[in-house]
Amino acid sequence: MSERSVSKRKQQKRWYTVQSPEQFDRETLGKTTADEPDKVLGRTIETKLGELNNDASENNTKLTFKINEVASDTAYTEFIKHELTRDYLRSLVRRGSSKVEAFVTVLTTDDYRVQIQPVAVTTKKADASQEKAIRRTMIDLVRETAKDRTFEEVVDSVVEGRLSSAIYGEAKDIYPLRRVEIQKTTLEARPEEVAAEEEATVDVDEEDVEVEDA
């Protein structure tokens, strides 16, 4: 390829301003470049919650967004993951304490499938029955939260700390807690993907049914 062709190709590339979803106030996340709008779709961008809210105290929370729409020179995104930094999680656990984790997959009222991972850290070492009771409380409250909330509402509850506070309020009566956090939240499937999976499951079940001759 000649230098002229390379130069021409570079000139054809455009810069797109990447915005967070409306849920996060359409904040600018950065810029990305491509020679065709379709090539921008599917790209992910990670930022810290503190950078979106201009609050350094929230820089222990990472948010990941995926570009799902391009219009003119703007790339719009959807939320796909919330995660606490490893350094912050390590700082919560002290010698002689217990770390109790749970992995809960839920379906929101608008049919988004989400995995939520709460973690509780006790002030001292808890025994097996106490850890089991704390874990059961975390699972029940996560499911209760998702049962009557949309995807956006669930994400808000996680990011704003309401879900972790609710778990803390319930679980601290089981054993003294130092901290409760939602260490990770991941979008596993969108409504159309959930519907397709359910349809495929129904089709498989119907194939398994034996039809007897009359």
Tell me which amino acid residue 169 is. G
Domain shared by 131 and 146, yes or no = yes
For 149, the 3-state DSSP assignment is coil
Answer whether 127's CB lies under 8 Å from 138's CB.
no
The residue to which tokens 């029955």 are assigned? 129
Q: How many residues does the chain have?
A: 214
Domain shared by 97 and 171, yes or no = yes
Is the residue at 149 inside a domain?
A: yes
pLDDT at 202: 73
Answer whether 178's CB lies under 8 Å from 123's CB.
yes
- Per DSSP, the residues of 66-135 read EEEEEETTEEEEEEEEEEE-HHHHHHH--TT--EEE--EEEE-TT--EEEEEEEEEESS---HHHHHHHH
Is the residue at 141 inside a domain?
A: yes
Is the residue at 214 inside a domain?
A: no
- Distance CA(166)–CA(159), nearest Å, equals 13
In degrees, rounded to 5, the angle at the alpha carbon of residue 166 between the alpha carbons of residues 147 and 108 is 20
- Per-residue pLDDT of the chain (214 residues), as tens digits, is 555 555 555 558 899 999 999 999 999 999 999 999 999 999 999 999 999 999 999 999 999 999 999 999 999 999 999 999 999 999 999 999 999 999 999 999 999 999 999 999 999 999 999 999 999 999 999 999 999 999 999 999 999 999 999 999 999 999 999 999 999 999 999 999 999 998 888 765 555 555 555 4
pLDDT at 214: 42
- Token pair of 48, please? 């810290």
Q: How many domains does the chain have?
A: 2
Is the residue at 5 inside a domain?
A: yes
Domain shared by 71 and 98, yes or no = no
In degrees, rounded to 5, the angle at the alpha carbon of residue 165 between the alpha carbons of residues 170 and 138 is 50
pLDDT at 12: 82
Adjacent-strand bridge partners of 83: 62, 184
- Token pair of 169, please? 């309020």
Domain span including residue 31: 1-84
Is the residue at 23 inside a domain?
A: yes
Task: Tell me the whole-structure pTM to 2 decimals.
Answer: 0.86
Is the residue at 206 inside a domain?
A: no
In this structure, the number of other CB atoms found within 10 A of the CB of residue 23 comes to 14
CATH number of the domain residue 153 falls in: 3.30.479.30
Is the residue at 38 inside a domain?
A: yes
Domain shared by 10 and 21, yes or no = yes
